[in-house]
């Protein structure tokens, strides 16, 4: 009986942080869902694709300083204010495309433009990079090293980040 209890306790200690990390703070969920009017894809699906080495185009639509602070593994920076259409035009249009930014608004705008330009399978990452970081999913810095940091865009939007270290430079 003691051994069984000990095993359950140890399993809980290792599993509980993962379960808590995957929850979405209700106010954040409400905020992003009010802003979305384009199909989204769950972070779990994208993370699984990354781990499996799936052939998917992951596009970071944030500004360069945000991307250099941290970005999803395998993502390509295309920007927003100075959108790199030259990079986007080289993508295989038969592969799924996932776009993301901090919360999903800028990426949603880019996704709509991509659909207008012949990309069929485009989805916006649900919750954006902020939710990705808050759930302790893998991030890379400008040197390709793992990081937990996330760029807060500005202090107004960065207030949505509670768990991940926020950077503003």
Of 41, 101, 133, 161, the active-site residue reads 101
Q: Can 7 be counted among the known catalytic residues?
A: no
Three-class secondary structure assignment of the chain: CHHHHHHHHHHHHHHHHHHHHHCCCHHHHHHHHHHCCCCEECHHHHHHHHHHCCCCEEEECCCHHHHHHCECCCEEECCCCCCCHHHHHCCCCCCCEEEECCCCHHHHHHHHHHHHCCCCCEEEECCHHHHHHHCCCCCECCCCCECCCEECCCHHHHCCCCCCCEECC
Active-site residues, by number, are 101
């Amino acid at each position: 009986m003691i051994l069984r209890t000990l095993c359950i306790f140890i399993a809980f200690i290792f599993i509980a942080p993962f379960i808590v990390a995957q929850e979405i703070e209700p106010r954040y969920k409400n905020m992003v869902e009010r802003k979305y009017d384009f199909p989204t894809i769950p972070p779990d699906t994208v993370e699984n694709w990354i781990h499996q080495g799936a052939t998917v185009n992951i596009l970071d639509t944030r500004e360069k300083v945000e991307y250099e602070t941290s970005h999803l593994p395998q993502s390509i920076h295309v920007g927003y204010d100075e959108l790199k259409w030259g990079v986007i035009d080289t993508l295989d249009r038969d592969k799924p495309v996932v776009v993301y930014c901090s919360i999903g608004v800028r990426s949603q705008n880019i996704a709509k433009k991509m659909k207008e330009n012949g990309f069929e399978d485009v989805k916006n990452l649900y919750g954006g990079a902020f939710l990705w970081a808050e759930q302790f999913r893998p991030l890379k810095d400008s040197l390709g090293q793992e990081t937990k940091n996330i760029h807060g865009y500005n202090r107004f939007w960065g207030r949505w980040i509670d768990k991940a270290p926020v950077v503003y430079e």
